[in-house]
Amino acid sequence: MRGLIGSNLMINIIVGLLAMAILVLSSDEAVKRFVGLANYFNLSATFMGVTVLSLATSIPEISSHLTASVGILRGNLDYKIGSSIVLGANIGSDVVQQTLIMAMVCFFAGGLYFRRYFLTKSMLPMIGTTLMCIVLGLDRSYSRLDGLILFGTFIGYMYYLYWDERKYFKPEVKAEEEEDVPQSGLEALKYAAIAVVAMALTILSAQVVLQITELVVQVTGIGGSLIGVVTLGVASALPELTTAVSGVRHKEQGISLGTLVGSNITNPLVAIGGGALVSTYWVPYPLIAWDLPWETVTGAILWAILWFRRGRLTKLWSLYLAGLYFVYVILRAVYFAVD
């Protein structure tokens, strides 16, 4: 892909803009189809966001980990450098989603409302997965056993969510011919096919943007994890951003919140867990000393605010969340620039 894109800066900018346009349009179409399927199968939009969409939008992180892991096994990629870049990108993507992207979604929506069950069954597991990554990484490595623990936790959590959804979710009464809802099994199959194609376009265009981001990063002496956190992490979070914004546009906050929080669960459990199962990882000190603790603390603060405010986040709070992200990046660059 690097050869196709070329090294000309103007060409990179044009290709990047085209990829961004495809990213926005395809994610918008995917959200519309997934909402229709959720209604058809009597599933909540939040469930679709936490499971299907969070897994789909995490494909850039998952594919990056698997590519790096195979490169490490073959000896084509330095063990420490490869580990630090993909782990930094993964955790950086989570921090971006939890602060900056959540702030943008809250601002565009004019405020957000989190149900109490969502705070308990989605946000607490999100914080828990980050704590797992801290504990498992204290020895400065993610072994294959660590990877099995992380990936196995994801499988168990998905089973629990499905069981809980089928037991407690009560669909709203809807008109028989409601717009954008499949009216038959064949039509639902068409919706699913369109959704898969749209998500594939979302992922491919995000990968192009990711590659261009890598090309414009200059050769510097800063740590690989910082490059991953600041640049690749932001680029990797583009599918979640466009999907969440599309959810707001379609007045489906469950899609937006489910995707953002669900992706913060999927990234560490599937991407890091799956990658560690393949090759194992070296864990840079800044990730354990700063990135993961910051992600845990900000997630806990956000949860506490929402719990005591009965799940409501006003537009003003978006400034607080955005501020947390920029404080995080500045302090990371100042005190943890080297791995």
For residue 227, the model assigns a pLDDT of 58
| Both structure tokens of 241 | 């951003």
Q: Which fold has domain 54-170+213-335?
A: A middle domain of Talin 1 (1.20.1420)
Burial class (CB in 10 A: 0-12, 13-18, 19+), 19: buried
Identify the pLDDT of residue 134. 97
Q: Cα–Cα–Cα angle for 58, 62, 67, nearest 5°?
A: 150
Domain spans in the chain, listed from the N-terminal domain onward: 54-170+213-335
This prediction has a pTM of 0.75
> What does each C-alpha distance from 154 to 34, 116, 137, 270, 286 come to in angstroms?
21, 22, 18, 7, 25
For the chain, residues with pLDDT lower than 70 are 1-9, 13, 20, 23-24, 27-28, 31, 35, 45, 60, 168-180, 203, 206-207, 209-240, 250, 339
* Helix H or strand E segment including 282: strand 281-282
pLDDT of residue 54: 80
The pLDDT, as a whole number, for residue 317 is 87
The sign of the torsion formed by the CA atoms of 212, 213, 214, 217 equals positive
Task: Report which of 313, 251, 322 is spatially closest to residue 113, judged by C-alpha positions.
Answer: 313
Please report the pLDDT score of residue 210 as a whole number.
52
177-234 pLDDT, tens digit each: 445 678 888 888 998 899 888 878 876 775 676 566 555 544 444 454 565 566 655 6
